[in-house]
Amino acid sequence: MTPSTHPPAHSPFLQGLNPKQLEAVTLPPEPALILAGAGSGKTRVLTTRIAWLIATGQTSPLGVLAVTFTNKAAREMMGRLSAMLPINLKGMWVGTFHGLCNRLLRAHHKDAALPATFQILDSQDQLAAIKRLMKSVGENPENDAQKPKELQRFINGFKERGMRPQAITSADSYNQKFIELYQLYEDQCQREGVVDFGELLLRSVELLSRNTALRDHYRSRFQHVLVDEFQDTNPLQYLWLKALSTPETGLFAVGDDDQSIYAFRGADVANMRRFEREFAVQHLIKLEQNYRSHGHILEAANQLIANNQGRMGKNLWTDAGVGDPIRVMEAPSDLMESSFIVEDIRALIQEGYSRDEIAILYRSNAQSRVIEQSLFNAGIAYKVYGGLRFFERAEIKHALAYLRLMENPHEDTAFLRVVNFPMRGIGARSIEMLADEAKRQGSSLYTASGLLDGKAGTAIRGFVQTIESLRFETQGLTLPRLVETMLERSQLIAHYEKDREGRERIENLRELITAAAAFMVELGQPADFPATAQADADTMSPLAAFLSHASLEAGDNQAGEGERAVQLMTVHAAKGLEFKAVYVTGLEEGLFPHQQSADDPDGLEEERRLMYVAITRARERLSISLAQTRMLHGQTRYNMRSRFLDELPEGCLKWLSPKRSHRSVVGEAWDTPRMGGYSAGGGHPPAHLGNAGFGTVGVARPPALASAKGHESGFAVGQRVGHARFGEGVVTGFEGAGPDAKIQVSFRQAGSKWLALSVVKLEAL
DNA sequence: TAATTAGCAATTTTT
DNA sequence: TTGCTAATTA
């Protein structure tokens, strides 16, 4: 199709788009890959294209499939669309991969070999199911507690690649046992009528490839398939997209290979190249104009990411000015790093910055503690993102388990969760007997309870009776009333009332009623619609929908007071957000880039992308900091300056502390010997930036320093050493003095270890 | 059955 | 150091 044959570009939505954005929005319905840099108006392009396609009559709302990763992004898209289009968006397929798969599988549950009431396991539930499985096959005893988590990773890893147990060859895995357990896990899920997250996708892909009539139905319906954050898709999601599209589908993928930071959970940037190749993409458009950050910030981001190999290639630019330089601060300790940041934030607030326009980013959650402490002491409101979410709380999961059993009594995970919670005298012994019976019958625990005699049977049947009568009593009730009745009859609230630490839990349980009411509004159902009734054959009952919602959207996860608060989060959590002022902390080797990623080139590139994401969050003011010493796992660590700092262009930086010419705190054995290293033992501590305006915060105890000559032990940081048991390694630090002195060695095989110098026998290599 | 203690690991995380 | 889980004890 040539540009002249597809509809002209007049539409009110198109105003204000830059030429590249306009080109992307109005592309013909052919496979297209939009490389959308940070802050380049990605979401706007995506939503405007949908609006334009519909408004110009090229497709109907039902002809569009738009998929994202998070519910938040999906809601954002919906919000923008409804602002642009005066149409009913209800029937539109806009959502997350998992949400849309759920929708598909509910509509075709028979073809997918699932019960209508199938339940979704979140990661917690999945792990519980795996533990139970391992126990049932006698797989648990002396094995370490990591095993279930390992198996979970194993299963999810293969599902993410679209592989069933049968598809795994010995080349894929050395562990035959895991393959068997994977199969048993699948059997168990099937028996109970539950699906995990990966299964939602995999089942959908298999359904579509098996049932060609169904596949063709959806293929002809969805003339346009739009994908957000394409760089984060895993191979299975790629297969899903492939299953839903033909060469005629307007497959419109938007992503940024430089912002791919989820490889650890299966994302594969290679999907971008694969898409380009397999779909013979003729339209590759780069959105490089950035509307977010000042020049210095972008320049630094560009220079940093240029160190990665195999990029698709992209350079952000702005027509805003260069702005302030990036401020860099090397503090003597993590404590002083945070007090520097807090002092700086105080000044920003004075200047008129709103607290919620300020973010502090870190590589790992453990770093937040010190920062929180400083903010707390300074009396600055802050909000930490991360941690338990609403639907993940124990009391909420308990309540949901009751609801799930009302829907699908054969879900043993839910059954076991609440069969004796609150306590009703059903102990481990009774449950064991029940499990044996269920195994004999090949049935669910719920079914088996009818066959169990003796005291155990009576007690368990009492529980089953509770569920049954609950189901009976709540007929015709609205969702909030149903939840309320469940809380009453299950005695959950009564149980927590007896607990003197149960107040918050009760509040949360009451909040669940509110959440149910809010959910009805979201559904657009009348408030008096019965919870277990279906509006039509293709629609889930409010209760079923609510349970899906609870599994697929765990809710908010912020803690902290108030609205206008300084935002604390990991760099991962910051993706997609922007702030006027950003502090990126902990630019230290071993932390950022993280130790576990540093040895592997791919891992290192992902860390670099992470830093790229961090930098590009800032609009006006970016500060980067590091600490020479950091308390980690109860021990003081001496870290080198991150290599990423040295990859930033000097011209964009302003050092607030004296910049060291070398990266190591503890001497230069690493580099070529040079004069001026800090001397060991009796020497003075490094000139700890007392001149940077926060010299009063206290002086850190000087680290046990080693000079170019080395530590008192005769070893030096960076030196290669050998150990009889651990093999070859590199000295990475020292701690303490005299008989307590310890040496840190990073062994090639055994990893990093702290060893007592008085004991350990190391050989210099 | 609850409560205490010991042991142990320790990026990043959405669905 | 912390935070979690499993094991042990009252």
- ∠A172-A178-A184 over CA atoms, to 5°? 120
Distance C2 C1' – A310 CA (angstroms)? 40
Per-residue confidence at A746, pLDDT binned at 50, 70, 90?
A: low
Query: Sheet harboring A64-68: ordered strands across?
Result: A93-96, A64-68, A224-227, A250-255, A32-36, A283-287
Which nucleotide's C1' atom has the smallest distance to the CA of A597?
B11
Res A216 pLDDT > 50: yes
Q: Which tokens hold the place of A615? A: 């930098």
Residues (352-391, chain A) with CB within 7 Å of strand C atoms: 369
| Angstrom distances, CA of residue A379 to CA of A28, A90, A300, A339, A697 | 55, 45, 33, 12, 16
The protein residue nearest B14 (Cα–C1') is: A70
Q: What is the pLDDT of residues A498-513, one digit of tens each?
A: 877 788 889 999 999 9
Q: What is the pLDDT of residues A579-611, one digit of tens each?
A: 999 999 999 999 999 999 988 899 999 999 999
Contact A751, A764 (CB under 8 A): no
Q: What is the pLDDT of residues A364-414, one digit of tens each?
A: 999 999 999 999 999 999 999 988 899 999 999 999 999 999 999 999 999
What's the one-letter identity of residue A336?
M
Which nucleotide's C1' atom has the smallest distance to the CA of A362?
B12
Distance B12 C1' – A596 CA (angstroms)? 11
A420: Cα within 13 Å, side-chain hemisphere: 12
The protein residue nearest C5 (Cα–C1') is: A145
Asked, as a colleague might, if the bond just before A8 is cis with ω within 30 of 0, I would say no
Which nucleotide's C1' atom has the smallest distance to the CA of A499?
B2
Per-residue confidence at A673, pLDDT binned at 50, 70, 90?
A: very low
Which nucleotide's C1' atom has the smallest distance to the CA of A141?
C6
Average pLDDT of A701-714? 45
pLDDT of residue A531: 96
pLDDT of residue A400: 95
Res A702 pLDDT > 60: no
Which nucleotide's C1' atom has the smallest distance to the CA of A388?
B13
Distance from C-alpha of A678 to C-alpha of A19, rounded to nearest angstrom: 56
Residues of A designated catalytic:
42-43, 228-229, 259, 617
pLDDT of residue A740: 60
pLDDT of residue A16: 92
- ∠A237-A241-A242 over CA atoms, to 5°? 115
Q: What is the pLDDT of residues A630-663, one digit of tens each?
A: 999 888 999 999 999 999 999 999 999 888 766 6
Q: Which residues of A9-35 are buried (b: 16+ CB within 10 A; e: fewer)?
A: eebebbeebeebbbbbbbbebbbbbbb
Angle between helices A428-441 and A454-473 (to 10 degrees): 80
Average pLDDT of A7-27? 85
Residues (594-633, chain A) with CB within 7 Å of strand C atoms: 631, 633
Distance B2 C1' – A420 CA (angstroms)? 15
Question: Between A761 and A353, where is the model more confident?
Answer: A353
Q: Where on strand C do bases come within 7 A of a protein Cβ?
A: 1-2, 5-6
- Which residues lie closer than 8 Å to A413 by C-beta, 6 or more apart? A121, A125, A128, A129, A132, A192, A194, A401
Residue ranges with strand state E in A688-726:
720-723
What is the percent of chain A where pLDDT is above 90?
A: 67
Distance C3 C1' – A390 CA (angstroms)? 20
Distance from C-alpha of A473 to C-alpha of A462, rounded to nearest angstrom: 16
Distance from C-alpha of A200 to C-alpha of A213, rounded to nearest angstrom: 20
Q: Which tokens hold the place of A561? A: 């007071």
pLDDT of residue A375: 95
Distance C9 C1' – A431 CA (angstroms)? 23
How confident is the prediction for chain A on average, in pLDDT?
86
Neighbours of A741 (CB within 10 A): 17
Distance B3 C1' – A426 CA (angstroms)? 20
Which nucleotide's C1' atom has the smallest distance to the CA of A148?
C5
Model pTM? 0.85
Distance B5 C1' – A633 CA (angstroms)? 21
Protein residues closer than 7 Å by CB to strand B: A 69-72, 96-99, 122-123, 144, 146, 197, 261-262, 264-265, 363-366, 386, 420, 423, 425, 427-428, 552-554, 557, 569-570, 572-573, 594, 596-597, 603, 607, 633-634
Q: What is the pLDDT of residues A155-180, one digit of tens each?
A: 999 999 999 999 988 766 557 888 99
Per-residue confidence at A675, pLDDT binned at 50, 70, 90?
A: very low
Average pLDDT of A671-696? 30
Neighbours of A239 (CB within 10 A): 20
Distance from C-alpha of A27 to C-alpha of A226, rounded to nearest angstrom: 12
Contact A690, A665 (CB under 8 A): no
Distance C9 C1' – A288 CA (angstroms)? 65
DSSP string of A579-593? EEEEEE---BTBBTT
Name the most confidently modeled range: A3-17, A343-357, A496-510, A677-691.
Answer: A343-357
Q: Where on strand B do bases come within 7 A of a protein Cβ?
A: 1-2, 9-15
Res A664 pLDDT > 60: no
Backbone torsions φ then ψ of A375, nearest 5 degrees: -65, -40
